[in-house]
Amino acid sequence: MKKKLLISLIVIFGVLILDQIIKIWVKTNMEMGEEIHIIGDKIMFHFTENPGMAFGMDMGGLKGKIALSIFRIIAISGLSYYLYRIIKSGENTFYIICIALVIAGASGNLIDSAIYGLIFDKGTVFDLGINDWVGYFGLAKTSSEGYSGFLTGCVVDMFYCPIIDTHYPDWIPWVGGDRLLFFRPVFNVADSAITISVCLMIVFYKKVFRKKVVEIESDNENTIQESI
């Protein structure tokens, strides 16, 4: 149990530390909308902020933003308890890592929402559906000098990978001639951790879940035989 607990903590804090280091560096060294090309025009840093969910999705104005932050706190608490339970029950390490990645990802974006508005003096002010960016100058000296309140800060995103940037063929109905851009959303390490976890559980479905199904079926058969 101790080994699996240690592994899960390493995954969670490893992702959180990497996520926050990159976000703070981008926040303090780049201007809003600035790009740093890593691999041509296909992989780059593109500094942006979003008030809502992962990959820049929005959610119902300022009240929706607060509700999302509260939901993240509840979800992280529930997942943390669930992680403890599956570690205690001897669940396989692969599944434990997947759950730890989800917790780390949700926690990383929660940190932005909870405190970035308090510790940074400039950022994306999100109020009543209006995004108003004012150039970044530095850390706030006090929480009252922050650009937003508790749980209403915006999430910093930077990874932009428009691997495909072309146009739909003219003969395709409705979208012919329109721009085809993939992958459009700008994301961060926290978003990536959640996405990777979900993809791993889908790709390795049998490894993660099949064993449980077999064990349950075996236990049911044994119960039936014993009752007979």
Mean pLDDT of 184-190: 90
Give yes or no for residue 130 having a pLDDT over 60. no
Closest C-alpha among 124, 128, 130 to residue 50: 124
Q: What is the model's pLDDT at position 133? A: 46
Q: Say what the pLDDT of residue 96 is.
A: 93
pLDDT, one tens digit per residue, over 67-121 is 888 888 999 999 999 999 999 988 888 999 999 999 999 999 999 989 888 888 7
- What band does 126 get if pLDDT is binned at 50, 70 and 90? low
pLDDT digit string, tens, across residues 35-74: 999 888 888 999 988 876 554 555 556 777 788 888 889 9
According to the 3-state scheme, what is the secondary structure of the chain? CHHHHHHHHHHHHHHHHHHHHHHHHHHHHCCCCCEEEEECCCEEEEEEEECCCHHHCCCCHHHHHHHHHHHHHHHHHHHHHHHHHHHHCCCCHHHHHHHHHHHHHHHHHHHHHHHHHHHECCCEEEECCEEEECCCCCECCCHHHCCCCCCCCCEEEEEECCCEEEECCCCCCCCCCCEEEECCCEECHHHHHHHHHHHHHHHCHHHHHHHHHHHHHHHHHHHHHHHC
pLDDT digits (tens, 9 = 90+) for 169-180: 888 888 777 877
Domain ranges of the chain: 2-168+175-227
Task: Kindly list the catalytic residues.
Answer: 157, 191
Nearest of 210, 223, 200, 224 to residue 11 by alpha carbon: 200
pLDDT of residue 150: 86
pLDDT digits (tens, 9 = 90+) for 189-213: 999 999 999 999 888 877 666 655 5
